[in-house]
Amino acid sequence: MVSAGLGLWLATLWVPGVVVQIYPDSHFFGIPLTQQWHLLVIFGVVLGLLNFFIKPILNLITLPLRIITLGFFGIVINAGFIWIVDYMFRELSIPILYPLLWTALIVLGLNIIILKIFIQHD
């Protein structure tokens, strides 16, 4: 969840076309969202929940495709989840192809870095 929110924030800084915009009526279940970091936390939580609950099922279903593409289809799955978050929230705007793939790569890279830092093998 941390890597997803941080990755989306970095994508808004570095990837042209990725925009997080706050509207006067932006809220999440009645809680007003007045800062950009509020939105990024919500986006990170939703993306983390999608990754936790739905990604294992999709990985199992798409296993032959992931084997054929040597794992690169995982980037397509991550981009699909980011597209779902973009579709769910009007405050997040990501144009369809290249910015979406770059955002997926940033989130994936941060996820790998955070796992390497915090998960230590005995």
Residue 85: exposure state from Cβ atoms within 10 A (0-12, 13-18, ≥19): buried
Residue 63 lies in a domain: yes
What's the number of domains the chain is made of?
1
**Distance separating alpha carbons of residues 68 and 3, to the nearest angstrom:** 27
pLDDT at residue number 65: 95
Exposure b/e, 28-67, CB count within 10 A at least 16 = b: eeeeebeeeebbbbbbbbbbbebbeeeeeebeeebeeebe
Residue 67 lies in a domain: yes
Residue 117 lies in a domain: no
pLDDT at residue number 29: 86
Low-confidence ranges of the chain (pLDDT < 50): none
Residue 51 lies in a domain: yes
pLDDT at residue number 118: 86
What type of residue is 121? H
3-class DSSP state for residue 92? strand
What type of residue is 38? H
pLDDT at residue number 79: 95
The bridge status of strand 27-28 relative to strand 19-20 is: unpaired
**Domain range for residue 44?**
2-23+33-112
Q: Dump pLDDT digits (tens) for 43-70.
A: 999 999 999 999 999 999 999 999 999 9
Residue 68 lies in a domain: yes
